[in-house]
Amino acid sequence: MYLTKETKAEIFAKHGGKAENTGSAEGQIALFTFRINHLTGHLKSNRHDYNTERSLVKLVGKRRSLLDYLKKKDINRYREIIKELGIRK
């Protein structure tokens, strides 16, 4: 499995402040980005996997919603997470 408990804890510790802070917008955005990158790699080798493609589109939408929320609440945190994760826009 590509996403273990340790990997999740590491992502939340790096972006959410601490490993137990799973509700922070930055931590969730970082987790979605990790999953999006994994699914993108999968789709490059399996072009006709439409279920994965649909999941990828849903994840991108969720991440976009969280980014919009963060942009509205605190523009500095938004700019920091965009720069840190290398997300376009």
CA 69 to chain centre: 14
CA 46 to chain centre: 21
What is the structure's pLDDT at 28?
96
What distance, in Å, lies between the first and last C-alpha atoms of the chain? 30
Using 50, 70 and 90 to split pLDDT, how confident is the model at 89? low
What is the structure's pLDDT at 62?
97
Query: Which tokens go with 20?
Result: 């137990």
What residue ranges define each of the domains in the chain, with the CATH number in brackets?
Answer: 5-85 (1.10.287.10)
pTM: 0.92
Which DSSP symbol is given to 17?
A: S
